[in-house]
Amino acid sequence: MINKVYNLDEFDLIQQAFRRDSPKSHPNTTVENGDDASVHLLPEGMELVVSTDTSMAGVHWPKHFPLDKAADRSVCTSLSDLAAMGAEACWAWVSVMAGSKKELIEIGKGVNAALTRYGVELAGGDTVRSPVTTALTITVAGMLPKGKALCRSEAREKDKVWIVGRAGFSSLGLQQWLVEMKEGYFKHYFEIVKPKLEQGVHLRELGIRCCIDVSDGVLQDVGHITKASNIGMELELSKFPGWELLCRKVGERHAIEAVVGGGEDYALIFTAPEGMGWLDSFATCIGRCTDRKEIEILLNGKKVEDLPSGYDHFA
């Protein structure tokens, strides 16, 4: 059966790898994958939310990382952007650079697995044979009511800062994968990304207006909020979920570096007015917004110096 698959031509291979097991079309799709372009209808009163990301072997996942898991992870990190906007995830377009038919089949498994889990339609994409690298560019789209997007510019002084999920765990897992540690405690945190789609929609329905997902490190990502909103922030490391566990496993300094600069966890950080109820049932308060126009990272109330700034592709 495998040999038969590898003997398929390009278009039959695409059908086998991506379309055969992909989720059914979204109710608002009027022209499905397979034409020159897909066509989608937005219900009255709704806005389209679109995001795109590229993931590459050796940069976003180790080269010895299983390709189906890498593709699954890439889809989920893209969906996390929709979660941060408070959008319902509807469609994905996946473009693949692969070195062989075998790689394409493995990537297709991961893409379809992730899209099926979250009920997102594969609306189109492209495939290219690449002798240089393996990479995916994933565009995702969703919907939300007009004027209700969660934006980085909507934080206000005296707002509390909250997190849904954990920070630091996945970056430590990536480090353990990179050194090929066979039984690293944190490896599975890197392997599986769970975009907080339901929580993002819930935040929007509660009236939250400002949110971001943590992909490049807490310090760098909350910096996008403070810059866009013209505020400062004060964050307390000891309040982050799993902080004591991180310290026990890797020591305090490495825990600080993982939380502040690690990224890769795709937690949601959002701000909310003080006294807003019910948030502590699914989120953890980690700090507050200030008028000082700077970000202060504290540990047990004391300012931490010499902090990592987060991931920079061109550093």
Specify whether 6 is located in the same domain as 128: yes
- Based on the fold, state whether residues 172 and 87 are members of the same structural domain: no
The string of pLDDT tens digits covering residues 206-241 is 999 999 999 999 999 999 999 999 999 999 999 999
Are residues 137 and 158 both part of a single domain? no
Q: Do 116 and 165 share a structural domain?
A: no
Pair (160, 198) in one structural domain = yes
pLDDT tens, position by position, 261-304? 998 899 999 999 998 978 999 999 999 999 998 999 999 999 99
Find the angle CA(198)-CA(203)-CA(205) to the nearest 5 degrees.
95
Residue 235 falls inside a structural domain: yes
H or E element: which one contains 75?
helix 67-85
Nearest of 86, 88, 56, 89 to residue 73 by alpha carbon: 56
What band does 1 get if pLDDT is binned at 50, 70 and 90? very low
Q: Are residues 160 and 128 in the same domain?
A: no
Structurally, the chain folds into a number of domains equal to 2
CB atoms within 10 A of CB 162: 22
273 three-state secondary structure: coil
Q: What does the pLDDT read at residue 313?
A: 56
Chosen domain end from 145, 179, 208: 145
64 and 43 within one domain: yes
CA dihedral 12, 32, 77, 147 (to 10 degrees): 170
* Residue 176 shares a structural domain with residue 116: no
- Residues 188, 124 share a domain: no
Q: Which of 145, 176, 200 is the endpoint of a domain?
A: 145
- Whether the model clears a pTM of 0.95, i.e. scores above it, the answer is no
For 199, what's the count of Cα atoms within 13 Å in the CB-facing half-sphere?
A: 26
Structural domain boundaries, residue 293: 152-303
**Same domain, residue pair 135 and 176:** no
Does residue 311 sit within a domain? no
Both 139 and 235 in one domain: the answer is: no
Pairwise CA distance, residues 174 & 7, whole Å:
35
Decide if 278 is inside a domain. yes
122-156 tens-digit pLDDT: 999 999 999 899 999 999 999 999 999 999 999 99
Residues whose CB is less than 8 angstroms from the CB of residue 282 and which lie 6 or more positions away in sequence, other chains included: 164, 199, 202
